Structure 1
C-alpha cells in the first residue's frame, strides 16, 4: 500500500533543508525508475519553487514558463540553453530568465537545482 503525504505548499513562512529534500527525492520511486525527480517546495498565487534532481545525461526538453524564473544550482552542474545562448552552470550558480522564453536543461553530471517561477498576475 502506498501512503501519500500531503505537503502544505502555501504557508506564509516556509523553510526547507535542501539536502534532506534531495535525499527524499533519491529515495523515491521516480528516482529509482527514471533517475530523475522533483518536488514542489512552495506554490502560491505569486510564485512556485521546485527542487529538481537529475542524473548525468538527463534532459528537460525545451519549454517555457509564463513568468520570469530563477535557477539556482545546488549540486553538480547543468547546461542551460535559452535565447540563443548556452551557459554551463556549476553548483552555486544562479541565473534569471525573462518570462515566456523557451529554454532547456541538460545535466552534465548528477545535479540538483531549484527553479523559482514568478507567476504573472492572473495565472494560477
Structure 2
C-alpha cells in the first residue's frame, strides 16, 4: 500500500501523537516533483546517524530540542528555530529532549527522489 501524502490545500497536523516518540513515527507529509516535507520525530534515545541526501534541506524544530551535527560542529535548535543544509552535506540528528521537527528536502527536477539518503563514511 502506498503512503498517502497531503493534497494541495489540505490541512496538515504537525503536533505529535501520544505514541509518536515511543514508536519513532516520522512521516512524509507531502512529496512532489520538487520537494518532500517530513514530520520528523526524534526520541532522545534514538539519534539518526550521519547521512546525507542530494537535495538541499531545512530542519525546523517544532517541539523539544534537536541537535544537528555537521562539519565538526553542533547546532542546537529549540522550538521555532531552524537550520539550512546544502545538498550532499553529511549530517547527524539527535535530540537533547524528545523532539518533533519539520524537514523540507528540495528534490532534483526530473529525479523525484532528491537522491538517495546515504550513510556518510
TM over 0.5: yes
What is the correspondence of 1:17-28 to structure 2 with a 5 Å cutoff? 17-19=13-15, 22-23=16-17, 26-27=18-19
Match of 2:111?
123
- Distance 1:5-1:68 versus aligned 2 partners, 3 A rule: closer
Unaligned runs of at least 5 residues, structure 1 = none
Higher helix proportion, which one?
1
Indicate if the aligned counterparts of 1:75 and 1:91 stay in contact, CA closer than 8 A: yes
Larger Rg: 1
Match of 2:36?
48
Q: Give TM-score scaled by structure 2 length.
A: 0.81
How large is the Cα RMSD of the aligned pairs? 2.1
Match of 2:8?
12
The 2-side partners of 1:61 and 1:17 are apart by: 27
Q: How many residue pairs get matched?
A: 112
The 1-side partners of 2:63 and 2:6 are apart by: 26
Unaligned runs of at least 5 residues, structure 2 = 113-121
Q: Give TM-score scaled by structure 1 length.
A: 0.79
The 1-side partners of 2:55 and 2:43 are apart by: 27
What is the CA distance between 1:85 and its match in structure 2? 2.2
The 1-side partners of 2:47 and 2:61 are apart by: 15
| Residues 1:99 and 2:87 are matched in the alignment | yes
Q: Which runs of 4+ in 1 moved over 4 A?
A: none
Indicate if the aligned counterparts of 2:6 and 2:29 stay in contact, CA closer than 8 A: no
Match of 1:65?
53
